């Protein structure tokens, strides 16, 4: 797990390219504290940079950027290929020899053997750039689940890429803010892909590669082919067996590491299940990281102990208090890379994992999205009824609606994105326009510039799953987890997003996979190792007492710090306990002082 950066441009002097990439790497040092590499290729007019976090093959044999022995390809790679040993064996059988024990070299040789078809063979989380020296093509590639981010810009006859957008700013590659980012942020609570806070800096879509032609200075973005599962499983017993086998396999192969590895244990269904499965593999060697609070309504220690009583490894449990939040607030804001209303919990749990000597951890992200773990899976049914109401009625009564109902005005727009924002959005278009002193028409044009949605019928559990996976999880949970964990030099692995497990889950008929009465029932019933006291209780999520802590934070809770009447009004309502902390935190982040 690492951080990568690079620039391709035949109009810029080599020493300038080198210096810019070195600056990018210095900016990304927190995500790769173990080693640095910068390589200039004269033939390609490119510089690849790399910051290394050593997880597999801790020796100098893993130094990057890495080239094959004949200089046919050069790579800078961030991530893990969990099936690299199987691929290595297959390639060895074809007569290929290896000079290291790394998964990085397997990527190189797989590409040289199979071309772009190799990308679909990888099982893991990854973002890498690979230069084919003979064909003078560079590929920037991202994993199918979008676990690892990679951003790019193509301008002035060149291509630049990096793992975080801060690298572009530090190197002077992109310094102009996208004027529309506050609109998107106040609606979503994050910056949705492919957009960023910077003009002309975009996120590469998951499951795609960007191919840069060095001779023409042009590029194209293409999906790479994954093997699709066309079967549809309608038998519940078969479904349970497939889920059990696929998740067990995913956990086993994601525990491959030459560095200390553990599990985030919150006490919920997903982390508890991963801990129990990991314990079967590691036993006493397994380490778990947990958090608890003085605020008892947020404390999950009792459920954590249920799991810890059945496992044999070492647990590190940490009390997080209001003072910790206050003392680290500046560090959290600095680590964000882009504004978000999430990620504080990930920052703390990652800090403690790092402090306890871990370099990699397993996380339960993905289970809620795949098995109906959110309220949206039931709420989405009511959207069909609301859509039968004439849209103009919502627009005409916006000023009369109480705050809790203002999001109904999203129904003025027919875009599937409007459906999502009604379920999960923060501020209504009318309030966003007033907060930012802009026109509502402009707000709607920015928010609904595309009609992305699932191919399944609207207002179904499948559509809810698509929303939660491709919008909420993709843009917020995964991005925030990556940037917050890597700010501590920690790798987070997500077995529920394993490619083969994803295919297994998506092959199961909807009426079996989603249960209205009991969220994640299929997942629970697939494993007899999960105690009833863990799954048969109200859902909490991995929540912090932020409603309490932010109301006490003088940087957030003072209306005088905010520009605009409506923003100050909302902060006063927050102090009075009338709106959710995420709205106040979003308003705080769009202020000039941040």
pLDDT tens digits for range 410-457: 888 888 999 999 999 999 999 999 999 999 999 999 999 766 666 667
Spatial contact of 338 and 196, defined as CB atoms under 8 Å apart: yes
E strand map for 259-313: 261-264, 287-292
Phi, psi dihedrals of residue 360, rounded to the nearest 5°: -150, 145
Per the structure block, which two tokens stand in for 213?
A: 């032609």
pLDDT at 539: 62
pLDDT band per the 50, 70, 90 thresholds, residue 567: very high
Q: What is the mean pLDDT of residues 134-138?
A: 96
Q: What is the mean pLDDT of residues 558-565?
A: 91
Is residue 222 among the annotated active site residues? no
pLDDT at 116: 97
pLDDT tens digits for range 336-386: 999 999 999 999 999 999 999 998 999 999 999 999 999 999 999 988 888
Phi, psi dihedrals of residue 212, rounded to the nearest 5°: -100, 125
pLDDT at 542: 56
Kindly state the percentage of the chain with pLDDT values over 70. 92
Report the alpha-carbon distance of residue 305 to residue 286 in Å, rounded. 15
pLDDT band per the 50, 70, 90 thresholds, residue 282: confident
Per the structure block, which two tokens stand in for 120?
A: 């679909």
Whether residue 393 has pLDDT greater than 80: no
Whether residue 541 has pLDDT greater than 60: no
pLDDT at 211: 98
The answer for residues whose C-beta is within 8 angstroms of residue 549's C-beta and 6 or more apart is: 322, 325, 326
How far from the centroid of its chain's Cα atoms is residue 102's Cα? Answer: 24
Nearest alpha carbon to residue 162 among 211, 192, 201? 201
Whether residue 400 has pLDDT greater than 60: no
Report the alpha-carbon distance of residue 471 to residue 70 in Å, rounded. 42
Report the alpha-carbon distance of residue 416 to residue 456 in Å, rounded. 12
pLDDT band per the 50, 70, 90 thresholds, residue 14: very high
Report the alpha-carbon distance of residue 273 to residue 250 in Å, rounded. 12
pLDDT at 594: 45
Mean pLDDT of all residues belonging to the chain: 91
What number of other Cβ atoms are within 10 A of residue 200's Cβ?
15
Give, as one character, the DSSP assignment of residue 205. Answer: P
Spatial contact of 129 and 49, defined as CB atoms under 8 Å apart: no
Fold held by 2-223: 3.60.20
How many contiguous H segments (helices) and E segments (strands) does the chain have? 26, 17
Taken as a whole, the chain contains a residue count of 594
pLDDT tens digits for range 106-122: 999 999 999 999 999 99
Spatial contact of 377 and 469, defined as CB atoms under 8 Å apart: no
Whether residue 154 has pLDDT greater than 90: yes
Q: What is the mean pLDDT of residues 225-253?
A: 89
Active-site annotation holder among 2, 25, 211, 222: 2
pLDDT band per the 50, 70, 90 thresholds, residue 60: low
pLDDT at 478: 97
Q: What is the mean pLDDT of residues 27-50?
A: 88
pLDDT band per the 50, 70, 90 thresholds, residue 2: confident
pLDDT at 407: 83
Whether residue 502 has pLDDT greater than 90: yes
Tokens 């209780």 correspond to what residue?
Answer: 537
**What CATH superfamily classification does 236-320+336-372+469-540 receive?**
HUPs (3.40.50.620)
Whether residue 99 has pLDDT greater than 70: yes
Per the structure block, which two tokens stand in for 557?
A: 């809770």
Q: Of 123-127, 168-172, 312-316, which gets the smallest average pLDDT?
A: 312-316
Bridge partners, residue 74, by sequence: 67, 131
Report the alpha-carbon distance of residue 65 to residue 584 in Å, rounded. 43
Domain ranges of the chain: 2-223, 236-320+336-372+469-540, 388-458, 545-594
Give, as one character, the DSSP assignment of residue 317. Answer: E
Whether residue 593 has pLDDT greater than 80: no
The 3-state DSSP class for residue 209 equals strand
Binding site for ATP, by residue number, is: 291, 363-364
The 3-state DSSP class for residue 357 equals coil
pLDDT at 457: 74
Classify strands 35-41 and 2-8 as parallel, antiparallel or unpaired. Answer: unpaired
Q: What is the mean pLDDT of residues 47-62?
A: 73
Whether residue 233 has pLDDT greater than 60: yes
Q: Of 199-203, 352-356, 472-476, 537-541, which gets the smallest average pLDDT?
A: 537-541
Give, as one character, the DSSP assignment of residue 449. Answer: S
64: left (phi over 0), alpha (psi -120 to 50) or beta: beta
Q: What is the mean pLDDT of residues 35-59?
A: 81
């Amino acid at each position: 797990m690492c951080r990568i950066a690079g620039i391709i441009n035949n109009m810029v002097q080599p020493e300038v390219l080198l210096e810019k990439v070195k600056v990018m790497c210095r900016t990304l040092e927190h995500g790769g504290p173990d080693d640095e590499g910068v390589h200039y290729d004269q033939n390609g007019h490119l510089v690849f940079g790399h910051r290394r976090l050593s997880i597999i093959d801790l020796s100098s044999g893993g130094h990057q950027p890495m080239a094959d022995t004949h200089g046919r390809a050069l790579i800078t790679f961030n991530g893990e290929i969990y099936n690299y040993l199987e691929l290595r064996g297959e390639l060895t059988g074809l007569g290929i020899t290896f000079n290291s024990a790394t998964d990085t070299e397997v990527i190189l040789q797989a590409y040289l053997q199979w071309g772009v078809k190799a990308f679909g063979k990888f099982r893991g989380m990854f973002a890498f750039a690979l230069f084919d020296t003979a064909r003078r093509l560079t590929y920037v590639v991202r994993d199918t689940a979008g676990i690892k981010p990679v951003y790019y810009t193509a301008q002035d006859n060149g291509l630049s890429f990096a793992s975080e957008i801060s690298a572009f700013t530090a190197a002077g590659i992109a310094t102009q803010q996208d004027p529309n980012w506050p609109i998107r942020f106040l609606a979503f609570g994050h910056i949705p892909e492919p957009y960023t806070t910077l003009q002309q800096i975009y996120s590469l879509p998951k499951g795609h590669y960007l191919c840069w032609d060095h001779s023409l200075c042009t590029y194209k973005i293409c999906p790479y082919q994954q093997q699709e599962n066309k079967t549809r499983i309608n038998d519940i017993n078969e479904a349970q067996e497939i889920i059990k086998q696929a998740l067990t396999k995913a956990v086993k192969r994601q525990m491959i590491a030459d560095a200390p590895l553990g599990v985030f244990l919150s006490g919920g269904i997903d982390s508890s299940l991963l801990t129990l499965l990991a314990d079967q593999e590691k036993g006493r060697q397994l380490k778990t990281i947990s958090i608890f609070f003085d605020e008892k309504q947020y404390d999950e220690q009792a459920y954590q102990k249920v799991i810890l009583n059945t496992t044999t490894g070492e647990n590190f449990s940490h009390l997080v208090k209001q003072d910790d939040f206050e003392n680290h607030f500046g560090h959290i804001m600095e680590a964000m890379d882009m504004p978000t209303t999430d990620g504080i919990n990930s920052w703390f749990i990652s800090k403690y994992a790092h402090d306890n000597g871990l370099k990699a951890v397993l996380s339960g992200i993905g289970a809620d999205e795949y098995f109906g773990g959110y309220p949206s899976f039931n709420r989405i049914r009511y959207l069909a009824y609301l859509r039968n109401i004439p849209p103009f009625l919502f627009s005409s009564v916006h000023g009369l609606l109480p705050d809790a109902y203002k999001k109904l005005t999203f129904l003025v727009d027919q875009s599937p994105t409007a459906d999502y924002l009604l379920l999960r959005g923060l501020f209504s278009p009318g309030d966003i326009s007033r907060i930012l002193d802009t026109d509502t028409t402009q707000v709607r044009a920015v928010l609904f510039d595309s009609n992305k949605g699932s191919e399944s019928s609207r207002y179904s559990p499948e559509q809810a799953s698509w929303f939660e996976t491709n919008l909420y999880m993709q843009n917020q949970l995964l991005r925030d987890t990556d940037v917050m964990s890597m700010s501590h030099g920690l790798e987070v692995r997500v077995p529920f997003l394993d490619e083969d497990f994803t295919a297994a889950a998506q092959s199961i008929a909807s009426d079996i996979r989603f249960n209205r009465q009991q969220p994640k029932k299929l997942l629970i019933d697939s494993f007899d190792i999960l105690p009833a006291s863990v799954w048969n209780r109200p859902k909490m999520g991995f929540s912090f007492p932020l409603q309490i802590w932010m109301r006490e934070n003088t940087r957030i809770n003072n209306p005088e710090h905010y520009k605009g009447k409506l923003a100050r009004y909302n902060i006063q309502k927050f102090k009075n306990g009338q709106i959710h902390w995420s709205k106040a935190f979003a308003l705080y982040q769009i202020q000039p002082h941040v």
